Structures are given as C-alpha cells and as structure tokens.
Amino acid sequence: MKNSLLVTLLCVQASLLAYLSWSTSPNHTEAGHIGAAVYLWHTGKLDVFHVNPPLTRVIAGAPIALFCSPKYDWKS
C-alpha cells in the first residue's frame, strides 16, 4: 500500500516536472537575445536588439562573452 502511494506520488511529480520544463523552456527569441548580448559585450553598441531593456541581456550573455570564444561575423 505504501509503495503504490509512493510510486503514484513520484509519477505525479515527474509529470509535473515534465510539464514545467515544456512550458518554460527557451523560446524562439532567446537566440536573438544571446547574440545581441555578445554583440553588446564586444562592441558596446545597443543597436542590434533594442526591443527590451539591455540589462537582462547583458547579465545573461556575460558568461558566453567572457568565458567562451564564440565565432561571429559582425560585417553583415
């Protein structure tokens, strides 16, 4: 009896976690924000993705811009 209750609760928990990860996963604009953050870190310009305030982008893109070596081409 206790084992079946435990298994049921674990299944409910797993299904809630699966739904949460599906509903709050990154959306299609995340790549634009990260690219704009790296551009901001390398050039200091805010003209690429100026729809939202830049503070969140700057914080989110800091690890990529500072610790990774992204390949980019700002000519186009």
**Tens digit of each residue's pLDDT (9 = 90 or more) over 18-27:** 999 888 877 7
Question: pTM higher than 0.75, yes or no?
Answer: no
Q: What pLDDT is stored for residue 19 in this prediction?
A: 93
Residue 49 sits at the vertex; the CA angle it makes with 28 and 63, to the nearest 5 degrees, is 75
Low-confidence ranges of the chain (pLDDT < 50): none
Q: Is residue 57 exposed (0-12), middle (13-18) or buried (19+ Cβ within 10 Å)?
A: buried
